[in-house]
């Protein structure tokens, strides 16, 4: 794993964008795995800037998002499809038909999950997966206890994640309790992984994932088993690290 600690989230976004842009320029029809949440926003800002400045082309890029809430239509304010449109896709020259976000309204969610895995396989797998980490160490919606071999499936969200997400909903009862999520096994099959983190509330999870044992109790620790992972961490999320990493 390559770990880079940066000063602020703008630096985090710029470093991640540079890394991804370099890979995208080397491979047409690049398959990019994307995340939602606050963590990747500085990255998306920079990717938009690069695209609008003519520095990076998305016309042949294919994307797959990690997850979506079950029961939220794509038009819902808090759906991840809408989040992606508003924060990235609407501002770049990507073919919207080549952007994939799990369908939270699928009539048969289990069949949808299998189909999503097949869609990823049919385009040759994910070239680079962007990840954020939950304060409990989750990746995508793989909560502590998820099998390290898990695949795309319907998952129940933990109380701590429902609480973390409640800031985006008017009432606690409105927060979805289930999601469709790529599995840890699915994520580990990406050719490369770019893991981003900022904020003091992530410091324990970052330290456990990077320097603790590989364990289902900290899903992000599974990244230790992947040969090509770049962690880009802002100082405030790196305060609990003990080893010497690049600064």
Judged by CB under 6 A, which of 31, 39, 46, 192 binds ligand F6R? 39
Minimum distance between the CB of residue 55 and ligand F6R, rounded to whole angstroms? 25
Residue 138 within binding range of ligand F6R, rule CB under 6 A? yes
Tokens 């129940």 identify what position? 156
**Min. distance of Cβ 36 from ligand F6R in angstroms?**
4
Taking 3-state DSSP, the helix, strand and coil percentages for the chain, each rounded to the nearest 5, stand at 40, 20, 40
Give the relative orientation of helices 9-26 and 41-52 as an angle to the nearest 10 degrees: 50
CB 194 within 8 A of CB 233: no
Beta-bridged to residue 32, according to DSSP, are 63, 128
Per CB under 6 A, 132 contacts ligand F6R:
yes
Site string for ligand F6R, 45-84 (x = CB under 6 A): ---------------------xx-----------------
Strand partners, 153: 181
Q: Indicate whether 38 belongs to the interface with ligand F6R (CB under 6 A).
A: yes
Q: Do residues 91 and 182 lie in contact, with contact meaning Cβ atoms separated by under 8 Å? A: no
Query: Does 12 help bind ligand F6R (rule: CB under 6 A)?
Result: no
Please say if 93 is a catalytic residue: no
Positions in the binding site for ligand F6R (CB under 6 A)? 35-39, 66-67, 132, 134, 138-140
The residues annotated as belonging to the active site are: 67, 136, 138, 143
């Amino acid at each position: 794993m390559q770990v880079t600690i940066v000063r602020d989230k703008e630096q985090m976004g710029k470093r991640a964008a540079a890394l991804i842009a370099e890979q995208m320029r080397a491979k047409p029809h690049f398959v990019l795995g994307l995340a939602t949440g606050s963590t990747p926003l500085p990255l998306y800002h920079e990717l938009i800037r690069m695209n609008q400045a003519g520095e990076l082309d998305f016309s042949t890029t294919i994307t797959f998002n990690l997850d979506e809430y079950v029961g939220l239509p794509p038009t819902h304010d808090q759906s991840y499809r809408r989040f992606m449109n508003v924060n990235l896709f609407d501002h770049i020259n990507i073919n919207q038909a080549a952007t994939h976000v799990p369908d939270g309204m699928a009539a048969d969610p289990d069949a949808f999950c299998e189909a999503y895995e097949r869609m990823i396989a049919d385009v040759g797998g994910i070239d680079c997966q962007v990840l954020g980490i939950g304060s409990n160490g989750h990746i995508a919606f793989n909560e502590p206890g998820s099998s390290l071999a898990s695949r795309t499936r319907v998952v129940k969200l933990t109380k701590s994640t429902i609480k973390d997400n409640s800031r985006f909903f008017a009432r606690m009862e409105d927060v979805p309790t289930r999601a469709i999520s790529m599995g840890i096994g699915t994520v580990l099959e990406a050719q490369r992984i770019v893991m981003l983190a900022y904020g003091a509330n992530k410091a324990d999870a970052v330290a456990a994932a990077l320097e603790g044992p590989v364990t289902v109790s900290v899903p992000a620790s599974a990244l230790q088993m992947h040969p090509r992972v770049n962690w880009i961490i802002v100082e405030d999320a790196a305060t609990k690290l003990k080893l010497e990493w690049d600064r």
